[in-house]
Structure formats: C-alpha cells, structure tokens
Amino acid sequence: MAASRRPPAATPVPKVSRDELRAQVEKLERTVATLRTRSREAVRAAKQAAARIEELEAQLAARKKQLSRPAAAPRAATRTPKAAMFARGQRPKAERDPGDAVPPGVAVSEPEPMDEEAAAAYESLQAKLHPADE
C-alpha cells in the first residue's frame, strides 16, 4: 500500500536557453499589448452601444407618449385657404394685372417708325440671325 501512495516520478524539465526565454517573453508582451488594445476597443464599442440603446429607448418612450395622446382634430380643414396661408406664415398674393402698373396716358401704345439707321441695323441683325433666309 505504501507504494501506491507514492507521488509519480517527476518528469525532467527540458532546459531552455536564455535567448529562447527572451523570445517567449517578448512574444507574450506583444500578445498582452494586443489584448489590451482589443479590450479598450471593446469597452469603447460597448459604451457607444449603451448610449445608442438609451437614445433609442428615449425615442421609443416619446413615441409611446405621442400615441397615448388622443388624436387632435385637423385644424387646417376647418380654415379658409386664406386663413391657412396666414397660419403657415405666408401672405396671400395680390391678384393684379401687370399692366395696371403703368397708367394709360403714360404708356406708349404705338412705337415710332424706324429711321434709316435703325432699319439698317434691324436688317443686319436679321441677316446675321437668319442667314438661310436670304
């Protein structure tokens, strides 16, 4: 019975050189740095997600509150078109004839006949605008 309670014989540990140990330490340090960076990014993403969740929950609460209110009667249907324009901050356009701006005695009803210089300029312009007609 004493033989069965004895701890198993320890296996010999392989000898590792200092250079190999340094290389392993450097590799582990790089791994730790990478994991810290990923951890920071994950925490940042979690905070952003939590903020977005809060924002969406606030919007949801506002929409539920909006739906719980009784629907108001549409006011625009009860107003006249002119009153509706004033309510929107617009002014009704005056119905005017553009010719009303010039009194009848002031406006020229018939143009004066062209003199020779004006007629020559007119013909020259027409010749330049419509050369195929000649």
CA dist list (Å): 28 to 12, 23, 24, 31, 32: 24, 9, 6, 5, 6
Q: Per-residue pLDDT for the chain (134 aa), expressed as one digit of tens each?
A: 555 677 677 787 788 899 999 999 999 999 999 999 999 999 999 999 999 999 999 999 999 998 888 776 555 456 677 677 777 767 666 666 665 666 667 766 777 888 999 989 999 988 888 887 55
pLDDT at residue 94, rounded to an integer: 65
Q: Give CA angle at 16 (15, 21), nearest 5°.
A: 155
Give me the pLDDT at residue 83, please: 73
Q: What are phi and psi of 127, to 5 degrees?
A: -65, -35
pLDDT value at residue 58: 95
Q: Which pLDDT score, from 0 to 100, does residue 20 have?
A: 93
What are the sequence ranges of the domains in the chain?
17-70
